[in-house]
Amino acid sequence: MQVQTYLYFDGRCEEAIEFYKKTLGAEVVMLMRFKESPDQSMISPGIGEKVMHGEIRIGETRVMLSDGRCQNKEKFQGFALSISSGSDAEAEKLFKALSDGGQVTMPLTKTFFASKFGMCADKFGLNWMILAGQK
C-alpha cells in the first residue's frame, strides 16, 4: 500500500507548480489540462487551460496536484508537509523561500529535537514544517 499527497489549488495550480519549481527544485512529472481530457462532459466552461491533474517530484517525493473545481473554496487546514533538509543553511534557504508571501507560524530556530525547525504557510496557504539536524 502507498499513501500519496494530492493537493488542490483551486485555480492556482500552475502558479503553485512554478513556485515549487523555483523554491524547492520541483520537477514536473506529468501535467494534463482539462481541455486534454478525453471526457469533456463533466468539464465546466472556461477551465480548459486549468490543470486537471499534475504530478511533481520534490527530491525523492512525488506530489499530485490539480486546480480542482475552481470554486475559490479550497483551504489547506489540518496538515502540513514536512521537509528534512541536509543542513541548517539549506533549512534557512527553504524556510525563507516558502514563507515569502505567506505566513510564519513558528520561526526557524533550534529545538530539543533539531538544530533548526520552523513552520510556515506559503502564499497558497499550504502549511510546511522545515527541519535540519534531527536529534
Per-residue pLDDT of the chain (135 residues; tens, 9 = 90+): 788 999 999 999 999 999 999 999 999 999 999 999 988 887 888 889 999 999 999 999 999 999 987 777 778 888 999 999 999 999 999 999 999 999 999 999 999 999 999 999 999 999 999 999 887
3-state helix, strand, coil in the chain (%, to 5): 20, 40, 40
| Sheet order of strands, 81-85 included | 81-85, 127-134, 114-121, 103-109
pTM score, whole prediction: 0.90
Q: Grid cell 534531527 — which residue? A: 134
State which H helix or E strand residue 94 sits in.
helix 88-99
Bridge partners of 116, per DSSP, are: 132
CATH classification code of 6-66: 3.30.720.100
Task: Tell me whether domains 6-66 and 81-134 share a fold.
Answer: yes
With left for phi above 0 and alpha for psi between -120 and 50, is residue 79 left, alpha or beta?
Answer: beta
Fold of the domain built from segment(s) 81-134: 3.30.720
State which H helix or E strand residue 30 sits in.
strand 27-33
pLDDT of residue 97: 97
Ranges of each domain in the chain: 6-66, 81-134
- 103: cell is 505566513
∠ CA 22-115-97, nearest 5°, is: 15
